[in-house]
Amino acid sequence: MPKEFSRTSRLGEQIQRELARKIQFDLKDPRLGMVTINHVKVAKDLGYADIYFTVMGARGETDAEIRVQTETILNDAAGFLRFELARFLTTRITPHLRFHYDESFDRGHHLTNLIRKARTEDEVRSGRSAAQADGDSSSDE
C-alpha cells in the first residue's frame, strides 16, 4: 500500500513555498508581474521539478505576451532560484527547475463560460417553448 504523501510530493510543497517567497522578495526584474506558484511536480529521481504558475499582468500588454515574458524571465532565473533552493533544502540533490504557465485556470474559465452560455440558450429555448405551448393551449379554447 503506497504512502499517503510521497517524498516527492512533500518536497514539491516545500519547493513551492520557498519559490513563492524567493520570487516575491529576491527577483528584482521590473517586468515580472504578480506570480503565483500553483503546483510543483518533482521527478522521482529528483532530477527535475516542473513548476506551474499563473501571473497577473502589467498594463498595456496582452495576456499571451505577459505569459511568455514571465515564463522566459523565470526560466532565465532558474539557475539563481535553484542555487537559493539548495541553500534551503536538506536534500543531497536539488532539482533543475522548469517553469510552465498553468493553463488549468484558463480552461476552467472557458468551460464555465460555455456552461453559462448553454444554460442561457436552454432557458431561452424552454421559455420560447413554454410561451408557444401557452399560445397553443389558448387557441384550443
Q: Could you tell me if 114 and 130 lie in one domain?
A: yes
CATH classification at residue 24: 3.30.300.20
CB-side neighbour CA atoms (13 Å) of 7: 6
What is the span of the domain harbouring residue 28? 1-102
Q: Could you tell me if 98 and 114 lie in one domain?
A: no
Name which of 114, 110, 80 is nearest 97 in CA terms: 80
Q: Could you tell me if 45 and 56 lie in one domain?
A: yes
Strand residues in 57-117 grouped as ranges (E)? 96-101
pLDDT digits (tens, 9 = 90+) for 30-87: 888 889 999 999 999 999 999 999 988 655 567 888 889 999 999 999 999 999 999 9
pLDDT digits (tens, 9 = 90+) for 102-111: 888 888 888 9
Q: Could you tell me if 112 and 91 lie in one domain?
A: no
Q: Could you tell me if 75 and 141 lie in one domain?
A: no
Give the integer Cα–Cα distance in Å for 2 and 81. 31
Q: Could you tell me if 31 and 3 lie in one domain?
A: yes
Domain count, the chain: 2
